[in-house]
Amino acid sequence: MMKTTIKAYGAADSKADLKPMDIERRTCGDDDVKIDITYCGVCHSDIHTVRNDWKNSKYPVVPGHEIIGRVTKVGKNVTKFRKDDLVGVGCMVDSCQQCSACKEDLEQFCEKGMVGTYNGRDVHLGGHTFGGYSTAVVVNKEFVLRIPENIDPKGAAPLLCAGITTWSPLRAWKVKKGDKVGVIGLGGLGHMGVKFANALGAHVVMITTSPDKAKDAKALGAHEVLISKNAEDMKAHRNSFDFILNTIPVGHEMDPYIGLLKRDATMVLVGAVEPLKPFHGGGLIGGRKRIAGSLIGGIKETQEMLDFCGEHNIVSDIEVIDMKDINDAYERIIDADVKYRFVIDMASLKN
Ligand SMILES: [Zn+2]
Ligand SMILES: [Zn+2]
């Protein structure tokens, strides 16, 4: 297969800073879309992968799975996209397209394993995939999303991971007008959860440990703010939530949040990919309550989310950075010092 060399930014090993490097992309095949990357969001998973926190990183790591760009070329089997279309690529770039999950538009759960946009097994070139901290990418047409032209493309970048991660559970659990929805944690994920739950007509309660986040949460669309450290307030909200979206990225106490759920209601975890603290079975049994998990969303659902964002003019709240500032941005993400997502202006890598 023919290849071209392009500019990227990546990490040579788990201790290294990200630096400029050259990588190879396949040339645009019959089923492919070639994209000139204009913006790429910075997800906490990028940091976990660069630093090998999940013990599965393949180096060099070129992160980035919140990709926005313009189509520069399409293969001959591509009818849905044309040169100059505004498009996006999220967390996946391939899947088997044959298994029951793929056939049900749930490629994220492909039984053969979906191919991550970075750190996945590259089924075209061999080796592993490289993400969006780069000038261009070539992606199978089934994994390219259409970005509505009326929304800000910079703010649209985080929709491809943070957006779909929060949208999918809200839809899967059929959150509707008038439901009381809790969103735990006000970060990249949580701020999108608040925006979406509000747009779906829910009564949105931001659940956070920090009172100083109340004003921001309300500006994003929360109707109430519940400080989880305040026992009186937690008691006042007991057994009252129809649905809770839990975006806490680390293991944590579950019992206080289980107590907030109504009978038969569900709390969905989207953040903590690690052991949870033990919780009491009685809390679930007493009200037939449920704890569930959710992983990004399928391509069809991601497109639905993007179209919804076009109709409702929803984008992420972001801070734009140059590529060279990525290592500082990582430190600020770890310190939760960003409202609420960094987006790299890829022109800063090209020039
Ligand atoms: Zn992500
Ligand atoms: Zn599959």
Q: What is the tens place of the pLDDT at every residue in 220-265?
A: 999 999 999 999 999 999 999 999 999 998 899 999 999 999 999 9
Q: Per the omega criterion (within 30 degrees of 0), is the bond before 256 cis?
A: no
- How much distance in Å is there from the Cα of 70 to the middle of ligand 2? 27
| pLDDT exceeds cutoff 90 at 145 | yes
- Per-residue pLDDT, 351: 75
Element (H, E) at 138: strand 136-140
Instruction: Tell me the C-alpha distance between 219 and 240, whole Å.
Output: 23
pLDDT in tens, 174-227: 999 999 999 999 999 999 999 999 999 999 999 999 999 999 999 999 999 999
Segment 326-349 mean pLDDT: 96
- What sign for the dihedral angle of Cα 315, 316, 319, 323? negative
Tell me the CA–centroid distance for residue 254 and ligand 1, in Å: 23
- What distance, in Å, lies between the first and last C-alpha atoms of the chain? 28
C-alpha 46 – ligand 1 centre gap (Å): 7
Whether 94 shows a pLDDT value over 80: the answer reads yes
Dist. CA 299 → ligand 2 center (Å): 12
Domains of the chain by start residue, with CATH: 3-161+316-349 (3.90.180.10), 163-293 (3.40.50.720)
Distance 157 CA to ligand 1 centre (A): 11
Q: Which two tokens stand for residue 229?
A: 């450290």
Ligand (nearest to CA of 114): 2
pTM of the model: 0.96
Ligand nearest, relative to CA of residue 65: 1
Q: At what angle do helices 299-312 and 162-172 cross, to 10 degrees?
A: 100
Q: Tell me the CA–centroid distance for residue 1 and ligand 2, in Å.
A: 24
Ligand minimally distant from the alpha carbon of residue 107: 2
Percentages (nearest 5) of helix, strand, coil residues in the chain:
30, 30, 40
Q: Show the tokens assigned to 190.
A: 């949580």
